[in-house]
Amino acid sequence: MLFKIPRLYDSHVHFIATGEFASGLRLESITSLQDLQNLDRTKPGYYRQHWLVGFGWDERQWPAHEQPHKDLLDKVFPDIPVYFARMDGHSSWLNTTALKEMGLESATGILTEKDHLRAWDHLPSFSKSQQRANILQACRTFNAAGFTHVRDLSCTESLWNMLCEVADAGDLTLAIEENFTSHDMNDFERMLTLAVETKKQERPLLRSKGIKVFYDGSLGSETALLSRPYNGERSGNQGRILWDLADIEMIMKRTWAAGLEFSVHTIGDEAAHHIVQTARKISAQGAVGRLNLEHAQILRPETIQMMKPLHVRCHMQPCHWLSDRVWLMEKLRELYPYVFPWEALRLAQIPISFGCDSPVEPSSFWRNYLALEESPQARIRKFNGDITVVHAHPDKTFAPDCHSVIEDGVVKEVVFNGKRII
C-alpha cells in the first residue's frame, strides 16, 4: 500500500518533549541494580546542568525482590543528583543527593503525582545549546516519520524565541503551529499576551495559533469526564473537571476577541458537550472564533449536531485506539458506541485532523492507518473518508511545496519546501 500525502500533518504534538525524549536517557530496559551500573551516562543530552535525568522506568518489569528505591541510585550515583521519571509520567525516582538539593524528604525516593510534578517543575532547565539541539532532534524525529507539518500544544516563551532563531538560521525542516497552555486563571493573562505578541512575530514556517486548556483528564486514569460512570453504575466515578465552566466561557471569549484559536483537551463525552455548549452560548451573543477539540475520543450524537454552526475542528489520534483497545469496552460500557467517532464527524461534515500526541504515542501516519483498518473489527464505525486528506495540513498556503511518500509503513520520500530531505 503506497500513499503520497501533501503537507503531511501531525495535528497534535508536544514538540519539545518529543526532542527531549528522543535525545534523552531512556530507562525502559533497566530492570536491576546491575543494569543501573552498566548505564551509559556520557551523553550531554542526559544532563540538565549537573542533574542526570532519565525517563521510562517501569517497576513491573523489575524482579519482586529488587525494586526501584533511592538506595539503589545512591549506590551507583553517590555524588550527582539523579531524577528518573516513570514511563507513565506520574511518578519519579530520585537519589538522596537529588532529594537534598530539592529540600525534599522521602523514605523510598519515589515521588508520585503532585510531589512528582512539583519536583519536575524544579529541575534545572536545559542550556540554550541543549534547547537548540532538542528542537533540531524533534524536527528530525518528525521528518523521519514522514511529517512536514506539526501543531504543537505546549509552547513556552523560551521555546518560541528559540524556534524563531532556528527558523531565521534556515534550520527548520518543519512547518510548526504553536499554542500556549493556560493551566488556570492565574496564568491566563500571561499566556494570552504571549499568544498575541508571538502572532506578530510569525515566520513563513512558524505560526502562533492561540490558547490551549485541559478541561478533563484521561480514560487510562479514569479522569476523562463521562456522562455515565466508568466500569458500570457501581463505581460512581464519572471523571473530573479541571476548570470552572464560567471561567472557560470568559477565556474563550477573550481568546476569540484577540483573533486567536481556543483549543480544549476534551476526552470524555460530557467534557466535549460542556465545551460545545459554552461555544454555542457565546456564539449566540455574537462572539466569533475557532474552537479546536483535542482528542474528542467520545462524542454523543447530539454534541456533534451542536457543532454544526460553529467553527470547530476535532483533532483525533487513531493510534490511541491501538493502545487503549484492550480495556475500552469494559471501561465505557453503554458509551462504547460513541468512542472514536471519526465517521460520525465526517458524515456531519465537521472538519477533523489526525495526529499522534507524540511523545505519548510515536508520531506515525502508518499506525493511524492501521488503527483505521483494524478498529471496525472492534465495532468502531469504519472511516469512509480519505486518510491522506485528514492527515494533510488544511492550509495549502502554509509551506505549500511539501509531500511525503509512505509505502507499507516505510517512509520513502519527504520533500520539504521543495527540497528532498528523505
Residues that bind Zn ion (CB under 5 A): 357
Name which of 167 and 360 has its Cβ closer to Zn ion. 360
Cβ neighbours of residue 341 under 8 Å, at least 6 residues apart? 296, 298, 299, 304, 381
CB atoms within 10 A of CB 187: 13
Name which of 218 and 404 has its Cβ closer to Zn ion. 218
We find the least distance from the C-beta atom of residue 8 to Zn ion, in angstroms, to be: 19
Name which of 10 and 357 has its Cβ closer to Zn ion. 357
CA angle 196, 202, 204 (to 5 degrees): 155
We find the least distance from the C-beta atom of residue 150 to Zn ion, in angstroms, to be: 12
CB atoms within 10 A of CB 12: 28
We find the least distance from the C-beta atom of residue 358 to Zn ion, in angstroms, to be: 9
- Residue 402 grid cell: 511539501
- Sign of the Cα torsion 253, 256, 257, 258 reads positive
Name which of 18 and 97 has its Cβ closer to Zn ion. 18
We find the least distance from the C-beta atom of residue 153 to Zn ion, in angstroms, to be: 6
Name which of 261 and 357 has its Cβ closer to Zn ion. 357
Residue identified by cell 485532523 is 353
Name which of 253 and 313 has its Cβ closer to Zn ion. 313
- Residue 255 grid cell: 481568546
We find the least distance from the C-beta atom of residue 235 to Zn ion, in angstroms, to be: 26
Name which of 139 and 316 has its Cβ closer to Zn ion. 316
We find the least distance from the C-beta atom of residue 216 to Zn ion, in angstroms, to be: 13
Comparing every residue's Cβ against Zn ion, the nearest one is 357
We find the least distance from the C-beta atom of residue 290 to Zn ion, in angstroms, to be: 18
Name which of 195 and 360 has its Cβ closer to Zn ion. 360
Closest to 21 in 3D by CA, of 363, 324, 285: 363
Closest to 304 in 3D by CA, of 267, 342, 334, 337: 342
Closest to 366 in 3D by CA, of 57, 6, 21, 10: 10
We find the least distance from the C-beta atom of residue 313 to Zn ion, in angstroms, to be: 15
SS (H, E, C) 243-277: CCHHHHHHHHHHHHHCCCEEEEEECCHHHHHHHHH
Name which of 249 and 261 has its Cβ closer to Zn ion. 261
Q: Are strands 410-416 and 51-57 parallel, antiparallel or unpaired?
A: unpaired
We find the least distance from the C-beta atom of residue 239 to Zn ion, in angstroms, to be: 17
Alpha-carbon distance of 122 to 116, in angstroms, equals 10
Alpha-carbon distance of 306 to 284, in angstroms, equals 12
- Residue 180 grid cell: 500556549
Structural contact between residues 284 and 251, judged by C-beta atoms closer than 8 angstroms: no
Residue identified by cell 494570552 is 192
